[in-house]
Structure formats: structure tokens, C-alpha cells
Copies of this chain bind each other. A is one copy, B any other.
Amino acid sequence: MRLRLTPKETSFYELFAKAADNLVVGAGLLTELLGADKAGRADIAGRMRDAEHVSDEITHDIYRQLNSSFITPFDREDIYMLASLLDDVMDEMDAAADLVSLYQIEELPDGVADQVDVLVRAADLTAEAMPRLRTMKDMQDYWIEVNRLENQADQVYRRLLAHLFSGEFDAITVLKLKEVVETLEQAADGFEHVANTIETIAVKES
């Protein structure tokens, strides 16, 4: 008699790693968006929509796996929460690209590049941290750094608002830009929510 080999299934760790890698793709598309003209923007918004669909699929894969697994590496509701928060970040990035294209925004103020820069670094940190989920080793540094980045994002965001309100822009342009800038700020918040959830899991396991 032989041991039945179960078909290799993708582990939760691999799915979370894929979700985080996809956020690196999203942050990269936001960087491209900064330098693009109007035609380029529509194309980038389209590719962002594709990345958002990939994110939805990974999230559903995690949920499906969750419903068919008797044993999970950590609490079921934390797996659910983490999957859902990673997907939220992608949704915000997608919304930002969609709004820039939809509102026919002429020019993005300088600070937006700083916001995107924070998102690129937060995405990289998150993707680098995911393989460490298995051992929960060295998670403290990731968590502290993402929280530091989020504080920095807050500062950039408030300075950007002050710039928008400086009188340089007409009220409707202010409203459009504010919507974009807020959406990017929510993406930065989203990375912090992911990091906080991982911290909560680490606290439970400790």
C-alpha cells in the first residue's frame, strides 16, 4: 500500500506572497502614471484594472482554500482579514488610476510623486515581509517601518492639501485633485492596516 499523494495545493503563504507581489505591480503602475500623457493614462488605468482582477482572484483563492482546509496556519478570521486588507490596497490603487483618467486631470501637483514613492516602498516592504509569515521572525522591523512610512505619508498628504488650498487652483480642480490625493492616502493607510493585522497575528502567536 502506498501513501496517497495529495495534489500539491498552493499554500496560504504562497497566496499571500502573490497578493503582495501584485501590490508591487500596482505601485509600479502608479509610478508610470505620473509621467504619462492622457493616452498613456487610459492604457495604464486599463492595466491597473487587470491587476485589480488578479487581486480579486487571489483573494477568492484564499477564501476557497480557507473553506476547504481543516487546519490553518493561523486563526481563520485572521487569514480572512489579511486577504481582505491586501485586496483593499489594490482597490485604492485602482481607484486612484481610474480617477486621474476619469477626471481628465491636466497636471498632478509635485507632492503626488512623494505619495506614490511611499506606496512603492510600502509595497516592496510588504512583499519582502510575506515570506517571513511562516516563521514570524523579524516582523517587528517591517511593522515599524511601514508605520513610519505611513506617518511620512500623513505629513506629505497634509502639505499637499495646504498646497491645493493655497489659491493656485480653482475650486473644482481642488476637489478633483483632493479626491486623487485622498485615495492615495487611503492606499498608504491600507498598507498600515495590513502591517497591523500581521502584528496582531504575531501577538496572538507569541
Contacts and interface: CB of A to CB of B under 8 A. Distances in A.
Main secondary structure of the interface of A (DSSP, over half): helix
A158 B76 contact: no
Interface string A71-95: 0000011001100100000000001
A117 interface: no
Number of chain copies forming the complex: 3
Interface stretch (A1-9, A15-23, A32-40, A165-173): A165-173
Given A98-B158, A171-B171, A175-B178, A76 B204 contact: yes
B158 A95 contact: yes
A42 interface: no
Interface string A44-67: 000000000000000000010011
A177 to B, nearest CB: 10
A167 B103 CA distance: 11
A200 interface: yes
Contacts of A204: 76-77
A165 B174 contact: no
A135 to B, nearest CB: 16
Contact of A165 (B66, B98, B154, B176): B176
Contacts of A179: 161
5 contacts: A63-B199, A67-B203, A77-B200, A103-B165, A171-B174
Given A76-B204, A95-B154, A103-B161, 9 more contacts: A63-B203, A67-B203, A76-B203, A80-B203, A99-B161, A164-B175, A165-B175, A165-B176, A175-B175
